[in-house]
């Protein structure tokens, strides 16, 4: 992807690319148990708390006719945030993946 293509892809008004990115990041979060095993003993430097906030807030900037496509990514972030706050039982890998907690 050259610079002009990337500029089009990352444009704030390119809602389709944001939907794709939201689903990619939700899949990345769901892969936490595998990442935790692969990275055991190493520091994970991905700013997941910010990613969760961004995914959760993305719905506000999305046109109404596209918001339903964010249901699954937002559901993933809501579940993870609830687990980190202690509102739901926490999966064993979660604390290691999100070092430092959330909110």
Any idea what the Cα angle at residue 13 is, between residues 50 and 78, rounded to 5°? 35
Residue of 5, 27, 25 whose CA lies nearest to 14: 5
**Residue scoring higher pLDDT (35 or 73):** 73
**Domains of the chain by residue range:** 15-97
pLDDT digits (tens, 9 = 90+) for 86-102: 898 887 767 666 654 44
Interval 52-69 mean pLDDT: 88
Interval 37-43 mean pLDDT: 64
Do the Cβ atoms of 79 and 58 come closer than 8 Å? no
**Residue scoring higher pLDDT (15 or 32):** 15
């Amino acid at each position: 992807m050259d610079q002009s293509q990337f500029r089009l892809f990352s444009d704030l008004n390119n809602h389709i690319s944001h939907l794709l990115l939201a689903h990619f990041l939700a899949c990345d979060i769901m892969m936490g148990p595998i990442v935790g095993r692969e990275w055991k003993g190493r520091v994970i430097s991905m700013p997941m708390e910010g990613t969760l906030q961004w995914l959760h807030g993305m719905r506000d900037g999305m046109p109404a006719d596209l918001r339903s496509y964010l249901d699954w990514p937002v559901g993933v972030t809501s579940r993870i945030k609830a687990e980190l706050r202690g509102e739901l039982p926490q999966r064993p890998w979660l604390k290691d993946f999100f070092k430092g907690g959330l909110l």
